[in-house]
Structure formats: structure tokens, C-alpha cells
């Protein structure tokens, strides 16, 4: 009888989202997975390439024939190994929504590291993004999955930076999966794929007109960024960075968009995984 009452009142054990084993001890902030699976996450805490954020030697950014990129730097939460590939496949292709909050929190961790790094680069001056922009997917992909995985990742990152999430990019054409293409094919296939959304200019102008908080008070001046000639800082969010073709195509569109309203762009990128 005592054993029955104990089992009845004791908190129910849950299974690890990743390996399926019973979670005997939870990880703070990551209740869905066990300690073993959390320990296996290949976090990228230090990048070897200052441009693309790769954690190992980077042949792409050191190419002599490398065309100038439209973004300043990319950082990623994790290395894209077989375990992370399975996690993304569960969420992105198999519709396992239980991975959504887990991956969003991982993006938040990567955002903390990125903001810290950028603050150090700026002489310990607090760094902030004006807006977070998720990479859009085509209408065909949306009809297949019924969701855009980068959108939830964007909100995870934005929760740390307190920046607005702006869906101001539109994918005007569907392309075949990038994973089956060579580096050259990836770069060529992404040319001209993204365009600004119909309300993109209005959204950016609203960001630029947002009053600047000074201590406990807000400045009474509008058009702060235009008045001070300050750059508008945009952060592109995607799931996986491989060659950077998708991020660069989005960054090129955002560059043109910012310039069309008289703004000086600073484009950055944050992805969940770096291959």
C-alpha cells in the first residue's frame, strides 16, 4: 500500500526527447533531454574563422577569388554533426514540434555569446540589434511543412536581444534542396531568390523612428538613426550555414532595402548549426 501511494504521489518520469531514455536528473533550462544528450551537444564556443564562425579550418573565407560578402559575420550555436542533423530532421522534416522550444533556447544561448563578442569588439559598449530577420521559405515548402522553422529560431534569438522580429523578406521562387548541390551550384541557385516584402520599407522606417531609451526616460527625438547617421543593425536567422549562399543572398536584399530608405546597413547572421 505504501509503495502504491508513493508511486501515485511521486512526480511522473519523462523520457528524453532525443534518446528516449527515462530522465533521472534534468538539466536546468533543458527539461526535454537527459544529461547524456545535453553533454553531447557540440556547442561552438569559439570560432576559428572570424567571418563565417566555423569552428574548424575554413577554406571558403580564405579563397583568393572569394567575392565580397554582404554580411559582416556569422555565428552558429552548434556544429552540424550526425546528432544535430537528426535533431533538425525531427523538427524540420518530420514535424516533431517538441524540438521547437529546445532549439529556440539553443539559439538564445548562441545569441548571448554573439552579443558578448560584439560588445567586446566595440570596447565593452553594449551591442544591440535593431531587428531579427528570419530567412523565408517558399510557398511550396510552407504547404509541405505548414511552418517556417527559422521563424521560431528567430524568436528564440530575439528573446535575448529584445529586438523586433521582422518578416520582411519574400522568397519569390522555389529551389531544389541545397544539400544535394555543390558549392558553386548553391551560390548560383540563390542569385535573385529573395526580394523585400511589400511592407518592408515601412517596417524598417518604423524601427528607425523608434525613440531611444536613455536611462529611465525615452528621448523625445524621432528618426534617431537618421538624425545621428547611425547604422541599422539587422540579424539574419537560418537553421544551417554551409556555404553561406542563403545568408548572403538575404543580406544582399537587406542591403539594397536599407539603402532605399537612406539607412546605413550592418548585416549579421546567426544560425542554429554550422556545417
Residue 230 counted as domain residue: yes
Residue 104 counted as domain residue: yes
Write phi, then psi, for 17 (nearest 5 degrees): -60, -35
Kindly state whether residues 157 and 53 are assigned to the same domain.
Answer: yes
Closest to 104 measured CA to CA, from 86, 91, 118: 91
Residue 3 counted as domain residue: no
Q: Which helix (H) or strand (E) holds 144?
A: helix 139-145
Residue 249 counted as domain residue: yes
Kindly state whether residues 37 and 50 are assigned to the same domain.
Answer: no
pLDDT tens track for 186-244: 555 666 789 999 999 999 999 888 765 554 444 444 445 655 578 999 999 999 999 89
3-state helix, strand, coil in the chain (%, to 5): 40, 15, 45
Residue 67 counted as domain residue: yes
Kindly state whether residues 222 and 102 are assigned to the same domain.
Answer: yes
Kindly state whether residues 138 and 34 are assigned to the same domain.
Answer: no
Kindly state whether residues 100 and 37 are assigned to the same domain.
Answer: no
Domain extent, residue 17, equals: 12-41
Kindly state whether residues 24 and 103 are assigned to the same domain.
Answer: no
Residue 51 counted as domain residue: yes
The DSSP string of 57-69 is --SSTT-TTPPPP
CB 130, CB 234: distance < 8 Å: yes
Alpha-carbon distances of 2 from 6, 9, 12, 143, 219, rounded to whole Å: 6, 11, 17, 53, 65
Kindly state whether residues 133 and 163 are assigned to the same domain.
Answer: yes
Number of structural domains (the chain) is 2
pLDDT tens track for 2-13: 555 544 444 567
Which residue ranges in the chain fall short of pLDDT 70? 1-12, 174-191, 211-228
CA angle 70, 50, 66 (to 5 degrees): 45
Q: What is the three-class DSSP state of 151?
A: helix
Kindly state whether residues 35 and 51 are assigned to the same domain.
Answer: no
Specify which residues 266 forms β-bridges with: 233
Q: Which helix (H) or strand (E) holds 235?
A: strand 232-241
Kindly state whether residues 22 and 151 are assigned to the same domain.
Answer: no
Specify which residues 164 forms β-bridges with: 131
Q: Global pTM?
A: 0.86
Kindly state whether residues 172 and 73 are assigned to the same domain.
Answer: yes
Kindly state whether residues 19 and 52 are assigned to the same domain.
Answer: no
Kindly state whether residues 34 and 146 are assigned to the same domain.
Answer: no
Amino acid at each position: 500500500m505504501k509503495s502504491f501511494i508513493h508511486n501515485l504521489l511521486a512526480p511522473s518520469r519523462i523520457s528524453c526527447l532525443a534518446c528516449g531514455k527515462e530522465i533521472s536528473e534534468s538539466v536546468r533550462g533543458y527539461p526535454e533531454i537527459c544529461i547524456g544528450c545535453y553533454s553531447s551537444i557540440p556547442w561552438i564556443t569559439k570560432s576559428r574563422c572570424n567571418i563565417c564562425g566555423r569552428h574548424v579550418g575554413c577554406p571558403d573565407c580564405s579563397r583568393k577569388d572569394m567575392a565580397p560578402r554582404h554580411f559582416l559575420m556569422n555565428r552558429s550555436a552548434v556544429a552540424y554533426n550526425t546528432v544535430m542533423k537528426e535533431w533538425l530532421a525531427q523538427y524540420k522534416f518530420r514535424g516533431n514540434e517538441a524540438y521547437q522550444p529546445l532549439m529556440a533556447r539553443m539559439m538564445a544561448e548562441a545569441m548571448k555569446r554573439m552579443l558578448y563578442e560584439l560588445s567586446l569588439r566595440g570596447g565593452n559598449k553594449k551591442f544591440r540589434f535593431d531587428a531579427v530577420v528570419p530567412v523565408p521559405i517558399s510557398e511550396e515548402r510552407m504547404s509541405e511543412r505548414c511552418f517556417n522553422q527559422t521563424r521560431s529560431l528567430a524568436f528564440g534569438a530575439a528573446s535575448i536581444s529584445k529586438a523586433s522580429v521582422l518578416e520582411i523578406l519574400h522568397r519569390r521562387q522555389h529551389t531544389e534542396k541545397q544539400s544535394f548541390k555543390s558549392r558553386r551550384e548553391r551560390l548560383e541557385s540563390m542569385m535573385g531568390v529573395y526580394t523585400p516584402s511589400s511592407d518592408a520599407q515601412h517596417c524598417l522606417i518604423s524601427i528607425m523612428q523608434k525613440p531611444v531609451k536613455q536611462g529611465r526616460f525615452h528621448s523625445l527625438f524621432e528618426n534617431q538613426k537618421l538624425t545621428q547617421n547611425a547604422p541599422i543593425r539587422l540579424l539574419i536567422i537560418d537553421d544551417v550555414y554551409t556555404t553561406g549562399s542563403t545568408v548572403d543572398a538575404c543580406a544582399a536584399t537587406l542591403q539594397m532595402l536599407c539603402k532605399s530608405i537612406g539607412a546605413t546597413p550592418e548585416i549579421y547572421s546567426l544560425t542554429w548549426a554550422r556545417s
